[in-house]
Structure 1
Amino acid sequence: MSGRRVVITGIEVLAPGGVGAANFWDLISSGRTATRGITFFDPAPFRSRVAAEIDFDPEAHGLGPQEIRRMDRAAQFAVVAARGAVADSGIDLAAHDPYRVGVTIGSAVGATMGLDQEYRVVSDGGRLHLVDHEYAVPHLYDYLVPSSFAAEVAWTVGAQGPGTVVSTGCTSGIDSVGYAADLIREGSADVMIAGSSDAPISPITLACFDAIKATTPRDDDPPRASRPFDGTRNGFVLGEGSAVFVLEELESARRRGAHIYAEVAGYATRSNAYHMTGLRLDGAEMAEAIRVALDEARMNPEEIDYINAHGSGTKQNDRHETAAFKRSLGDHAYRTPVSSIKSMVGHSLGAIGSIEIAASALAMEHGVVPPTANLHTPDPECDLDYVPLEARERRIDAVLSVGSGFGGFQSAVVLARPERSAA
């Protein structure tokens, strides 16, 4: 590593409850929830019939008819978010060598909605065993290959440097940003457009999570269905969305007078080599990712002012990461506010890690810890300060954000104010 420091200078978020970073922050800082009964299709055959959907009109957000036809919903999210992040940063990408501008986009399930819709068409609603490809859209191949997401964003911003899709399940959104920051640190790029996008609310996704009972069956009360760390939690609420950032080298950002949200001070990822969906109760692998991220940031556990938790609302996850915080931060874990924004915007799989990074950066910006909504019944096994129901004002100089994904992936990122005394 060259020792270059990497900062976030642009943010855009598409999340349930409102498109745009400002709308997103207003929702999560007020403790409102954006979960509801599924409206995209008839969910009656499924066990879990609630989700956090985005009211998104692609044409109203600048996409033309050909772009709308060509791109899956998740790719549309990524392109709109990338345009917004670049605009927010004020960066003139035309003034940069395009070979030094790169793209990393995370996604867990790629173009799920497009593939689901097109299968219904080419199979005549499932009637044909041998599908008729003549009915397929011309760009069906782009739905199959997740790399199309990075290509679409690269075309949008004119990036000709490193282009990558990161797909590590529910840690994809953290890993894409961590990887992008590493590319800048090592000198392979000067600017990275990084983030993630997923639009998984489709029958096939509901069927998959129904089969393993990971999603909540609390269909009669959608706004209060997502209950991370609560004693009555019984699964997560599926969501969708995207968050994209402009990352650049610190001194370059300062020279152009950019507004700096936060430094990406440390990042690490580990896996547990244990079980596809199961988690060890001691949280050892997540704790190790946290330890390495703190080491990279050259920070002590006591310097963390807020933890943005994975907080999915499943019984095992919330216990697992509570143990990981105690294992990695020691007694400081009990003094550190922790919250889960999934209680308000659901779990958008690969996208949520970037959305949570956005929440962390905005929490630093505003000096406010967003709450964990729907947390009314304390769970004795989850005994940290989870900021129930209402946001809390607090100066925040450093945030730890973590993610946990099926397959055993555990990732951690540390954001910090760049003016802190760094060794």
Structure 2
Amino acid sequence: MTRRTVITGIGVRAPGGSGTKEFWDLLSSGRTATRRITLFDPTRYRSQVAGECDFDAEAEGLTPREIRRMDRAAQLAVVCARDAMADSGIEPDALDPHRFGVSLGSAVGAATSLENEYLVLSDSGRKWLVDYDHLSPHMIDYLVPSAMPAEVAWTAGAEGPVTMVSDGCTSGLDAVGYARELILEGSADVMLTGASDTPVSPIVMACFDAIKATTPRTDAPERASRPFDRSRNGFVLAEGAAMFVLEEYEHARRRGAPIYAEITGYATRCNAYHMTGLKPDGREMAEAIRVALDESRQPGTAVDYINAHGSGTKQNDRHETAAFKRALGEHARSVPISSIKSMVGHSLGAIGSIEIAACALAIRHGVVPPTANLHEPDPECDLDYVPLTARERHLDTVLTVGSGFGGFQSAMVLRRLEGKAA
């Protein structure tokens, strides 16, 4: 029997909302959630805007001990995992725990807590020799990335394959892709999968300032993220998380689970070229798209919507435009394409999963979310990037792509299951 994978539960925490419904309301209305940074004083920094989550861990049901133990990224992952489980209607006690796993993605892991602990140990950088007497007993949880998927596994009672995927800005796509592979090969029947990142911190902001990847636009934070616009000048750093219940299709069908979409294809490639640079022809992303579509057994002409990486940097948006043309030919000029980073910013390793959630919800609601702030399209980005306003459209096949430092390029295909959508 050929095994298949479907999404039966979604949990999202993103800028501009406190849950999946609020996230979709923001996207479908074309509103933006980027603002001047409030998590720390950004005055010293070149880029002073971000997509921040209004997240209250205690109000979300985490205990004081959990809040003390877990980094903010882990807290978001756990809360989203609980939401995804509840959304799917799955009962953990009814599952074989050894057939239930976790695959989590993150680019910078517990960077927020590591930075905070360094400030404590060094007396805010005044002491070269740090005082380890003040070391947090939870420091190992911040240092070891595997602590995050372990927290999710403990929350859900998953005793199957549990892993962390960390390959930069494609982590959220690749973690879900890996979870799918585990189901297809028969190693698991159910996976809790997704990604979480909370990089809005001084050290991460300083790193992107140094390479001028983030936007210096500070006068209007809500209009700072401008993918595919002639005036774009860098991305807006953000935080967030999205988690999914991913099930083998027959497993989901037997329990009458609601199904958002089937993941029918996935591929990842690397350009083996440069840590931050991209070749202008988009060949590696185009190859990932081609392989994902081949695995999905769909021609390029079947794609009804593309969720672009669309970071808002000069080179990414040109590279991506070239990749779509190379992969889809003339169909690239007729398919709607958009970047939700224009509304929620770029949450590094988490954004790939957040964009998968956007795709699944777009299929469910029959709506293509827009690219906000796209007032003057760059002539070099001459495809239909859905400026400003969402479009109603029946969607059967959706493509989502990601591009990351190190040359990583990933693509995933989601398909509607007629009569099965939630």
> What range is the shorter-chain TM-score in?
over 0.9
**Aligned twin of 2:259:** 260
**Aligned twin of 2:331:** 332
User: How far, CA to CA, are the matches of 1:12 and 1:386 in structure 2?
Assistant: 27
Distance apart, 1:19 and its partner CA: 1.6
1:4-403 correspondence to structure 2 within 5 Å: 4-403=3-402
Amino acid at match of 2:243: V
SS at match of 1:12: strand
Distance apart, 1:136 and its partner CA: 2.0
SS at match of 2:120: helix
What do residues 164-194 of structure 1 show as CA deviations (whole Å, max 9, x unaligned)? Answer: 0000100000000000001000000000000
Amino acid at match of 1:162: P
> Runs of 5+ in structure 1 lacking a partner?
none
User: How far, CA to CA, are the matches of 1:58 and 1:398 in structure 2?
Assistant: 36
What do residues 278-326 of structure 1 show as CA deviations (whole Å, max 9, x unaligned)? Answer: 0000000000000000011111101100000000000000000110000
Distance apart, 1:419 and its partner CA: 4.2
Amino acid at match of 2:278: L
User: How far, CA to CA, are the matches of 2:27 and 2:247 in structure 1?
Assistant: 27
User: How far, CA to CA, are the matches of 1:3 and 1:61 in structure 2?
Assistant: 39
Give the conservation status (yes or no) of the 8 Å contact 1:309–1:339: yes
Q: Which stretches of structure 1, 4 residues or longer, exceed 3 Å deviation after superposition?
A: none
Give the conservation status (yes or no) of the 8 Å contact 1:178–1:267: yes
Distance apart, 1:418 and its partner CA: 3.0
Distance apart, 1:93 and its partner CA: 1.8
User: How far, CA to CA, are the matches of 1:143 and 1:219 in structure 2?
Assistant: 31
Amino acid at match of 2:248: E
User: How far, CA to CA, are the matches of 1:184 and 1:94 in structure 2?
Assistant: 20
User: How far, CA to CA, are the matches of 2:63 and 2:18 in structure 1?
Assistant: 18
User: How far, CA to CA, are the matches of 1:125 and 1:68 in structure 2?
Assistant: 22
What do residues 65-84 of structure 1 show as CA deviations (whole Å, max 9, x unaligned)? Answer: 00000000000000000000
SS at match of 2:93: helix
SS at match of 1:10: strand
SS at match of 2:55: coil
SS at match of 1:350: helix
SS at match of 2:79: helix
Amino acid at match of 1:227: R
User: How far, CA to CA, are the matches of 1:228 and 1:82 in structure 2?
Assistant: 30
SS at match of 2:191: strand
What do residues 319-338 of structure 1 show as CA deviations (whole Å, max 9, x unaligned)? Answer: 00110000000100001000
Amino acid at match of 2:131: D
SS at match of 1:399: strand
User: How far, CA to CA, are the matches of 2:158 and 2:11 in structure 1?
Assistant: 18
Distance apart, 1:204 and its partner CA: 0.4
Amino acid at match of 1:187: G
Amino acid at match of 1:387: V
Amino acid at match of 1:260: I
Amino acid at match of 1:406: F
SS at match of 2:59: helix
User: How far, CA to CA, are the matches of 1:91 and 1:13 in structure 2?
Assistant: 17
Amino acid at match of 2:110: A
Give the conservation status (yes or no) of the 8 Å contact 1:3–1:186: no
User: How far, CA to CA, are the matches of 1:229 and 1:245 in structure 2?
Assistant: 29
User: How far, CA to CA, are the matches of 1:71 and 1:302 in structure 2?
Assistant: 45
Identity of aligned residues (%): 73
Distance apart, 1:138 and its partner CA: 1.0
Q: State the TM-score, normalized to the length of structure 1.
A: 0.98
Amino acid at match of 1:416: R
What do residues 77-121 of structure 1 show as CA deviations (whole Å, max 9, x unaligned)? Answer: 000000000000001121111000000000000001101111100
User: How far, CA to CA, are the matches of 1:298 and 1:275 in structure 2?
Assistant: 32
SS at match of 2:199: coil
SS at match of 1:257: coil
> Runs of 5+ in structure 2 lacking a partner?
none
Amino acid at match of 2:37: I
User: How far, CA to CA, are the matches of 1:220 and 1:3 in structure 2?
Assistant: 54
Amino acid at match of 2:201: S
SS at match of 2:126: coil
Amino acid at match of 1:379: D
Name the Cα RMSD after superposition.
0.8
SS at match of 1:207: helix
Distance apart, 1:220 and its partner CA: 1.0
